[in-house]
């Protein structure tokens, strides 16, 4: 994108930003100001109201002590400037002087990361001396210093820090396009605007993940998307995804990438205009298919409008349209999806097929790169079971009849260390059944699990179709006065809503609260624009609304007055 | 678009002001928003648009709209 277009677009979007700001601070020992508009624009486009600010030039360590107001801190600590013009001076240093510099830097890193330990996300660039030795056969002293510092960083890296490999970014656009030597030698602006664009694209998934902006499902067309050729015309023997033919091998590779995404927990779906039994036959019997029918969680293979089909897919999976990525080879279908469902990330199979696998790898890193957990891999199975449940629904006379037939069992645990990463993930991803939509990092959750002031309750559920895993979360905050506890967060994964589980979970938590001799409970509903389904949750539970300000409503109930729902058809076990 | 029109549109975007505010004597003294950061952005955008490279001395000289236009014209002709 041209720089002037970035500035124009940035200006246009910045006036439209609403909602709470996501504040990012850049700490740096070089001039990095031109990242501001580029980073803000990319985040605006993801629906994040970002505001980028800069610390004092070359004051990283000192500034790191005053970053509590920021949601994220970006660290550009260039090894070439750890001493003024070190890139050339380093060759003149004695071994002893160099060692002293290393020790000083290691101590500075320690202090800085200690200062930043409460920042939710620290994006820390790995050290690199590559810009000053792009064609050297042997490692320079600057590179060797950078390598040592990186080994140290890797060793002590706290969980709130993401290390970014600058060499990767250099290699994407070419190392010589990364710098502007005139600006470096005059204003210490080492990096070009081209570099910042590439860098921002590279780190974007970090921000998407901590703001809960993550894609969950990959929906694919079939003909000329999963294989070469048109099934309805070329027949089972005519379509090609063989790893030994020119066109086929690209589709074979694409299918393997999709399989590995499935293994990471991405839901895979089909949305294709075809005869369903013919597509099923390809999955069942074509010897070159890498994808198997069990990889596919949901399919809409019919002659209906793809927009309707995608809406139905989102609906059945109970996820937002903005959680879908869609790939098709037809310009017509893509335009229709892009214009009518702008929330769906839609990609076209490239005309030059050789770049198709690269496109998938790019989608994989920009849309689906997230911290993988064991739960993730189970998730696609759970969605498949969900669809089996929906189909079973039809056989019962009424919904209660159906729910009791599920033989639901839930387990409530308190302050369980084993599920910290799943708890974090839920706080980041859950949008609909989420009363306060407060996003937490691993670090924050693990601190709360250990803390006396907080109690974290998790709920796991299972029924006769399978195990849902950890799907409910409640964070209680012990206010320590007036015998009151506050519900900081209460959220449930959408795939288990509509069975009364949320009430059983809540009843159990209140029961525990009562055992602690607490008298009253306060709670809050904050509208996020996506959690409308729970706006009356506390009203339904008999809480009194005590105040209503802007997007938030505050509630209170006395423990004595709380009425349990006594739902009998769900079996409960507890571990507190 | 003429050089003048292109330049005015760039200056307006970078400085965040309407084109009508741009006179030939516009300078950091007259326009508070024209700080060193916007100055750098201006140079980057102009260099990219006209595919030219400023010498560092020229960057320092461009402290008036008139001079900016002069330097761009000289580079394009030269």
CB atoms within 10 A of CB A92: 8
CB atoms within 10 A of CB A285: 9
Share of chain A above pLDDT 70, in %: 94
| CATH for A394-575, options being 3.40.50.170, 3.40.50.200, 3.40.630.30, 3.30.365.10 | 3.40.630.30
- Predicted pLDDT of residue A371: 46
The answer to whether the Cβ–Cβ distance between B48 and A183 falls below 8 Å is: no
Q: What is the pLDDT of residues A328-385, one digit of tens each?
A: 999 889 989 998 998 899 999 999 999 999 999 989 888 886 544 445 555 666 676 7
Q: In A126-204, which ranges are E strands?
A: 161-164
Q: Which overall architecture, per CATH, does domain A3-210 show?
A: 3-Layer(aba) Sandwich (3.40)
Q: Is some CB atom of chain A closer than 8 A to the CB atom of B14?
A: yes
Q: Is some CB atom of chain B closer than 8 A to the CB atom of A1?
A: no
pLDDT of A388 over the 80 cut: no
**A477 neighbors A454 (Cβ within 8 angstroms):** yes
Q: Taking residues A535-555, report their average pLDDT.
A: 93
**A509 neighbors A476 (Cβ within 8 angstroms):** yes
Q: Kindly list the residues from chain B whose CB atom is less than 8 angstroms away from the CB atom of residue A183.
A: 40
Residues 6+ apart with CB under 8 A from A362: none
Size of interface A-B (CB pairs under 8 A): 35
**B40 neighbors A186 (Cβ within 8 angstroms):** no
Fold of A217-367: Rossmann fold (3.40.50)
- Distance CA(A289)–CA(A283), nearest Å, equals 7
The conformational region for residue A339 under phi > 0 = left, psi -120 to 50 = alpha, else beta, is: alpha
The answer to whether the Cβ–Cβ distance between A33 and B37 falls below 8 Å is: yes
> What's the mean pLDDT when you consider all of chain B?
93
- Predicted pLDDT of residue A374: 42
Q: Kindly list the residues from chain A whose CB atom is less than 8 angstroms away from the CB atom of residue B48.
A: 2-4, 193
Q: Taking residues A459-487, report their average pLDDT.
A: 86
With b for 16 or more beta-carbon neighbours within 10 A and e for fewer, the A403-440 pattern comes to beebebebebbbebeebbbbbbbbbbbbbbbbbbbebb
Q: Taking residues B23-50, report their average pLDDT.
A: 92
The DSSP symbol for A485 reads E
- Distance CA(A205)–CA(A164), nearest Å, equals 12
Out of B16, B45, B55, name the one closest to residue A11 (CB).
Answer: B16
**Region(s) of chain A under CATH 3.40.630.30:** 394-575
The token duo for A45 is 């486009």
* CATH number of the domain residue B51 falls in: 1.10.1200.10
Nearest CA in chain A to B16: A11
- Selected for mutation to probe chain B from A2, A4, A38 (highest B CB count within 10 Å) is A4
Tokens 């938030």 map to which residue? A552
Q: Kindly list the residues from chain A whose CB atom is less than 8 angstroms away from the CB atom of residue B14.
A: 4, 7
The answer to whether the Cβ–Cβ distance between B13 and A8 falls below 8 Å is: yes
Q: Kindly list the residues from chain B whose CB atom is less than 8 angstroms away from the CB atom of residue A2.
A: 48-49
Write out the DSSP string of A131-150: GG-TT-SS--HHHHHHHHHH
Q: Is some CB atom of chain A closer than 8 A to the CB atom of B35?
A: no
**A299 neighbors A309 (Cβ within 8 angstroms):** no
- Predicted pLDDT of residue A456: 94
Q: What is the pLDDT of residues A434-471, one digit of tens each?
A: 999 999 988 899 999 888 899 999 999 988 777 888 99
Q: Is some CB atom of chain A closer than 8 A to the CB atom of B70?
A: no
Q: Kindly list the residues from chain A whose CB atom is less than 8 angstroms away from the CB atom of residue B45.
A: 3-4, 7
Q: Kindly list the residues from chain A whose CB atom is less than 8 angstroms away from the CB atom of residue B15.
A: none
- Distance CA(A241)–CA(A233), nearest Å, equals 16
pLDDT of A398 over the 80 cut: no
The answer to whether the Cβ–Cβ distance between A34 and B44 falls below 8 Å is: yes
Residue B61 burial (CB < 10 Å; 0-12/13-18/19+)?
middle
Question: For the whole prediction, is pTM greater than 0.80?
Answer: no
How distant is the Cα of B6 from the closest Cα of chain A, in angstroms? 11
- Cross-strand partners of A523: A487, A555
The answer to whether the Cβ–Cβ distance between B14 and A2 falls below 8 Å is: no
Q: Taking residues A314-329, report their average pLDDT.
A: 91
- Distance CA(A380)–CA(B78), nearest Å, equals 64
- Predicted pLDDT of residue A373: 44
Q: Is A276 helix (H, G, I), strand (E, B) or coil?
A: helix
The answer to whether the Cβ–Cβ distance between A3 and B48 falls below 8 Å is: yes
Closest CA to A48 of A216, A215, A207, A214: A207
> What's the mean pLDDT when you consider all of chain A?
89
- Distance CA(B11)–CA(B38), nearest Å, equals 10
pLDDT of A213 over the 80 cut: no
Tokens 């202090």 map to which residue? A111
Nearest CA in chain B to A191: B44
Q: Taking residues B9-27, report their average pLDDT.
A: 94
How distant is the Cα of B25 from the closest Cα of chain A, in angstroms? 23
- Distance CA(A21)–CA(B5), nearest Å, equals 36
**Beta strand A161-164 with A121-125: parallel, antiparallel or unpaired?**
parallel
Q: What is the pLDDT of residues A231-271, one digit of tens each?
A: 988 999 999 999 999 889 999 999 999 999 998 889 999 99
The token duo for A517 is 């001799």
Q: What is the pLDDT of residues A301-315, one digit of tens each?
A: 998 899 999 999 999
- Distance CA(A148)–CA(A144), nearest Å, equals 6
Gap between the terminal Cα atoms of chain A: 55
- Distance CA(A78)–CA(A180), nearest Å, equals 15
Split at pLDDT 50, 70, 90, the class of A61 is: confident
**A54 neighbors A25 (Cβ within 8 angstroms):** yes
**A121 neighbors A441 (Cβ within 8 angstroms):** yes
Closest CA to A195 of A236, A167, A153, A228: A167
The token duo for A337 is 């999806």
The token duo for A126 is 């790995």
ipTM over 0.85: yes
3-class DSSP string for A61-92: HHHHHHCCCCCEEEEECCHHHCCCCHHHHHHH
Domain carrying residue B61: 3-77
Share of chain B above pLDDT 90, in %: 82
The token duo for A146 is 């950078």
Out of B37, B48, B56, name the one closest to residue A182 (CB).
Answer: B56
How distant is the Cα of B13 from the closest Cα of chain A, in angstroms? 6
Closest CA to B3 of B62, B55, B69, B65: B69
- The tally of domains found in chain B comes to 1
């Amino acid at each position: 994108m041209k720089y002037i277009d970035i500035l124009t677009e940035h200006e246009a979007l910045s006036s439209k930003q609403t909602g709470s700001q996501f504040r990012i601070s850049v700490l740096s020992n070089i001039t990095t100001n031109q990242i501001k508009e580029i980073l803000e624009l990319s985040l605006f486009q993801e629906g994040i109201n970002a505001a980028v600010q800069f610390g004092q030039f070359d004051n990283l360590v000192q500034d790191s002590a005053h970053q509590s107001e920021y949601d994220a801190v970006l660290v550009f600590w260039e090894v070439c400037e750890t001493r003024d013009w070190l890139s050339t001076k380093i060759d003149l240093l004695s071994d002893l002087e160099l060692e002293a510099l290393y020790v000083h830097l290691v101590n500075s890193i320690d202090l800085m990361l200690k200062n930043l330990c409460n920042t939710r996300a620290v994006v820390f660039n790995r050290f690199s001396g590559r810009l000053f030795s792009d064609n050297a056969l042997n490692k320079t002293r600057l590179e060797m210093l950078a390598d040592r510092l990186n080994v140290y960083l890797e060793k002590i890296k706290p969980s709130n820090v993401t290390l970014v490999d600058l060499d990767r970014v250099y290699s994407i656009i070419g190392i010589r396009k990364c710098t502007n030597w005139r600006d470096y030698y005059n204003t210490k602006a080492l990096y070009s605007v081209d570099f910042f664009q590439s860098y921002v694209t590279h780190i974007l998934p970090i921000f998407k993940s901590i703001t809960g902006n993550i894609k969950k499902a990959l929906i694919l067309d079939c003909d000329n998307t999963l294989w070469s050729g048109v099934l309805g015309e070329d027949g089972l023997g005519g379509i090609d995804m063989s790893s030994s033919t020119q066109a086929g091998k690209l589709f074979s590779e694409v299918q393997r990438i999709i399989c590995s995404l499935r293994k990471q927990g991405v839901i895979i779906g089909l949305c294709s205009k075809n005869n369903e039994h013919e597509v099923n036959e390809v999955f069942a019997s074509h010897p070159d298919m890498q994808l198997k029918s069990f990889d596919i969680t949901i399919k809409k293979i019919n002659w209906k409008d793809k927009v309707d089909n995608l809406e139905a897919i989102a609906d059945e999976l109970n996820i937002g349209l903005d959680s879908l990525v869609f790939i098709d080879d037809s310009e017509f279908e893509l335009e229709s999806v892009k214009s009518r469902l702008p929330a769906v990330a839609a990609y076209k199979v490239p005309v030059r097929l050789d770049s198709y696998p690269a496109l998938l790898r790019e989608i994989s890193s920009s849309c689906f790169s997230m911290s993988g957990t064991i739960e993730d891999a189970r998730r696609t199975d759970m969605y498949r079971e969900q669809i089996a449940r929906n189909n079973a629904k039809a056989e019962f006379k009424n919904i209660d009849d159906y729910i009791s037939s599920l033989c639901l069992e839930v387990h409530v645990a308190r302050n369980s260390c084993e599920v910290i990463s799943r708890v974090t993930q839920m706080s980041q991803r859950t949008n609909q059944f989420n009363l306060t939509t407060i996003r937490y990092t691993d670090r924050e959750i693990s601190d709360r699990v250990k803390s006396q002031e907080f109690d974290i309750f998790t709920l796991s559920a299972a029924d006769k179709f399978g195990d849902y895993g950890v799907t409910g979360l409640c964070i209680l905050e012990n206010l320590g006065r007036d015998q009151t506890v506050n519900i900081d967060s209460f959220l449930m994964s959408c795939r288990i809503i509509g069975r009364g589980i949320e009430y059983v979970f809540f009843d159990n938590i209140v029961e525990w609260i009562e055992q602690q001799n607490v008298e009253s409970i306060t709670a809050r509903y904050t509208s996020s624009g996506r959690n409308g389904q729970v706006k009356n949750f506390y009203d339904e539970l008999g809480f009194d609304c005590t105040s209503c300000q802007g997007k938030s409503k505050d509630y209170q109930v006395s423990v004595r007055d709380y009425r349990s729902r006594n739902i009998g058809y769900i079996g409960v076990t507890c571990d507190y | 678009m003429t050089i003048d029109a292109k330049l005015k549109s760039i200056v307006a975007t970078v400085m965040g002001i309407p084109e009508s505010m741009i006179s030939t004597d516009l300078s950091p003294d007259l326009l508070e928003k024209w700080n060193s950061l916007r100055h750098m952005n201006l140079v980057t955008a102009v260099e990219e648009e006209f595919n030219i490279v400023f010498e560092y001395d020229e960057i320092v000289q461009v402290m008036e709209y008139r001079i900016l236009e002069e330097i761009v014209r000289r580079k394009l002709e030269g």
